[in-house]
Structure 1
Amino acid sequence: MSNNIEEPIKMLRKKDWKIRMEAVETLGDIGGENVIRILINILNDDHWKVRRAAINSLVKIGEPAMQPLIEELRTGTQTKKREGAARALGLMRDERAIEPLIEALKDEEENIRDKAAEALGEIGDRRAVKYLEETLMDEHWFVRKSAAEALMKIENKNIRDYMW
């Protein structure tokens, strides 16, 4: 590892979330494929601001992060990391994420379904409409709400159009 990566990696071990967040932002500025896995692991951090910084850093890295994020969403075992992957994929607005996010609408974890619906709304591709409409019947209200909000973004309709 190069010296410019070693220092932020050391900072990631600190208890202070502000220091960890700064380290994550530094890694995002450095960029490159060698920091992607580190940032994906940080999606499991205890503090939401550190996780948000990791998401933003992955989005900033862009294309090289796409496939590792899709892989994390599909096969990861930690909910926070999978949620973060879905969020980052939505913010990247790349159509290659549509199919994995549609698959995630059927995930057993309600938080994953929720973040997948939000991400599909961010991408805004009409191919997701049918699947988001099916998600309006989810057992969890917050998943239904995210699906309705995503449909509103994609279809440019009022939420009342999706109320049952």
Structure 2
Amino acid sequence: MYDEKILERAIGALKTGDLQTRRAATDALGSMGETATMPLIRAMQEGDNDVRWYAARALVRIGRPAAEPLIRAMHEETNKDFRRYAMAALAEMKDEAVEPLIRELVDGQEELRPYIAMALCTIGEPAVKPLTGVINHPDPKIQTCAALILWKMGEPGAKPLTDALKEER
């Protein structure tokens, strides 16, 4: 567990520091792990796009423990810039974010699907198998989303999509 003052100072440096200070704060916050997740998400919600970018980088370093809280924050925060930076962070987490993203695609808010779809599409190969598992979902909208994401991936998703659709018949 990190001292609360150290965490606050690092968040402050992320918001107001020069380039070198912000980069160092990003590294420090990322190495703090899950402890820094919610303060980083709040910084993304309250800050400008520069702050969002640095906070997103730190969240990527945290990885899997930050994925679900970041998705939950996307439910609450309607700011499109926040959602875009959150989506980019999730995409950069790669396979660590696939499971929570698939869960959100299936059970989450419809208005978040474009962000979730873009993150999964950007992740590519690690998302293919979980997406092909969603092709036969009872909700036709979910089926269509999964198929479109696989198609949009290009080569990594095209053959698995074709194979999944053949099996469906």
Residue 25 of structure 1: which of 24, 27, 39 is its match?
27
1:107 CA displacement = 1.8
CA–CA separation in structure 2 for the residues paired with 1:152 and 1:103: 27
Q: Distance in 2 between matches of 1:149 and 1:74?
A: 24
* Alignment partners' CA distance in 2, 1:149 and 1:43: 28
Q: 3-state DSSP class of the match of 2:22?
A: helix
Tell me which residue corresponds to 2:166: none
In the TM superposition, what is the alpha-carbon distance from 1:28 to its structure 2 partner? 0.8
Map Cα deviations across residues 71-120 of structure 1 (whole Å, 9 max, x no partner).
Answer: 01223222222222223333332312213146779428xxx72x322211
Count of aligned pairs:
140
Identity across the alignment (%): 26
Cα distance in 2 for residues equivalent to 1:25 and 1:8: 10
Aligned residue type for 1:41: R
Please list, as runs of the form range in 1=range in 2, the aligned pairs for 1:131-150 lying within 5 A after superposition.
131-133=145-147, 149-150=152-153
- 8 Å contact 2:101–2:116 — kept in the other structure? no
- TM-score with structure 2 length normalisation? 0.61
Letter in 2 for 1:8: A
Q: Distance in 2 between matches of 1:83 and 1:31?
A: 22
**One-letter identity of the residue aligned with 2:100:** R
- Between structures 1 and 2, the one with greater helix share: 2
Preserved CA contact (<8 Å) 2:34 2:62: yes
Alignment check: 8 A CA contact 2:14 2:55 kept: no
Contact between 2:90 and 2:119, CA under 8 Å: does it hold in 1?
Answer: yes
- Give the aligned CA root-mean-square deviation in angstroms: 3.4
Q: TM-score, normalised by structure 1?
A: 0.62
Aligned mate of 1:155, from 155, 158, 163: 158
CA 1:40–1:5 in 2, change beyond 3 Å: closer, same or farther? same
CA distance in 1, matches of 2:158, 2:119: 15
Give the SS at the match of 1:77: coil
Residue type of the partner of 1:58? Answer: L
Q: 1:91 maps to which residue?
A: 92
Distance 2:106 2:90 in 1: 12
Check whether the contact 2:14–2:54 (CA below 8 A) recurs between aligned residues. Answer: no
Give, in angstroms, the shift of residue 23 of structure 1.
1.8
Larger Rg: 2
- The aligned amino acid for 1:46 is D
Amino acid in structure 1 at the alignment position of 2:11: I
Provide the rounded CA distance (Å) in 2 between the counterparts of 1:104 and 1:83. Answer: 17
Deviates more, 1:147-156 or 1:63-72: 147-156
CA distance in 2, matches of 1:87, 1:26: 20
Q: Which runs of 5+ in 2 are unaligned?
A: 136-142, 161-169
Which stretches in structure 1 are left out of the alignment for 5+ residues?
Answer: 136-146, 158-164
What is the aligned partner in structure 1 of residue 59 from structure 2? Answer: 58
Q: What amino acid maps onto 2:117 in structure 1?
A: A
